[in-house]
Structure 1
């Protein structure tokens, strides 16, 4: 069985996307993957958000294009910005132009995740917008789909998505379970592809 390398790369403004990223990374490790957990520049809690979780300690290494090149599978996360990807994560994706020109981003597994403040704050449009770049890369997009009963609780087949709501609700069991399903599927599909 081949070793699978997974990079979880994200932007987190308040710590919510960071929490999801951590769950994805932990699950990939539990399923035998070597994992890099990386935050793009600008990931942190705003100064007025006391008590908001900060970027996980082992993700203090800033994301770099080499983290994508190293990986067999890449999970990308962004908070929703008006139904779209945050400029911080988009800027990171834009930095991959040279690797794209050299066809170094093709044939990798990609999957996406997000968080919003409101229930209909653009989760699905953000997840789908994230995949636009991945199509250009020639990536193999592995969504969680409705492949596990846990996905019916968070209700999103495109990727893990969490709504914090007005009170800034931390990720709950439904979100954690959805992230576990997604990460396990990414590792399983990556391994199957690499073993062929």
Structure 2
């Protein structure tokens, strides 16, 4: 069975975009068909344009399609990546998820393997609660949470978060960081393939 993985991210300044791209490469190498997608921007254009780094990221990601309910129905696995905002996912990601009521109501989101990643400006900026906020939604869908747990030693080397990779904004994407993200993506593909 081919795993059809939708990687949906939101990124104001590029951190989660980079995390999603690393995961996409690892998932493709593991044999998955991957769609790299972004949650639609909900901030007004003038607000985005008023912050140089935000505008630069919007331009960099202009060719990446916005995620849709059709993408969610196409996929048989999902990997989400979004920054934390006050201990939960960024509102842009939440807004996208809130558009999926029709797909959820007909069972199109159930029984699919799901994992999540996040970032924050500081090491204890709400990453774990943000990941749990994703997984709470997934449980409502009837999805199957595939957290990395402590299934690879690299988890301990990159912060020890068993819920999903979390990045401190502004720190480097070292080989260990890339390895942790890649491990999570591969694990998701492996579990999704087993679910058939």
TM-score for both structures, normalised by structure 1: 0.90
How far off its partner does 1:156 sit? Answer: 0.8
Where does residue 80 of structure 1 map in the other structure?
Answer: 84
Total equivalences in the alignment: 190
* Cα distance in 1 between the residues matched to 2:154 and 2:77: 22
* Cα distance in 2 between the residues matched to 1:140 and 1:52: 35
In the TM superposition, what are the counterparts of 1:138-149 in structure 2 within 5 Å? 138-149=142-153
Q: Kindly indicate which of the two structures has a greater share of residues assigned to helix.
A: 2
In the TM superposition, what are the counterparts of 1:98-117 in structure 2 within 5 Å? 98-117=102-121
Task: After superposing the two structures, state which structure 1 stretch, 172-181 or 30-39, moved more.
Answer: 172-181
Say what the alpha-carbon RMSD is for the aligned residues.
2.2
How far off its partner does 1:93 sit? Answer: 0.5
Q: Show structure 1 runs of 5+ residues with no match.
A: none
How far off its partner does 1:84 sit? Answer: 0.8
TM-score for both structures, normalised by structure 2: 0.90
Q: Show structure 2 runs of 5+ residues with no match.
A: 43-47
Does the C-alpha gap of structure 1 residues 176 and 90 become closer, same or farther in structure 2, counting only changes over 3 Å?
Answer: same
SS at match of 2:84: strand
* Cα distance in 2 between the residues matched to 1:29 and 1:58: 22
In the TM superposition, what are the counterparts of 1:41-190 in structure 2 within 5 Å? 41-42=40-41, 47-49=51-53, 60-154=64-158, 155-164=160-169, 168-190=170-192
* Cα distance in 2 between the residues matched to 1:84 and 1:93: 13
Task: After superposing the two structures, state which structure 1 stretch, 77-86 or 171-180, moved more.
Answer: 171-180
Where does residue 3 of structure 1 map in the other structure?
Answer: 2
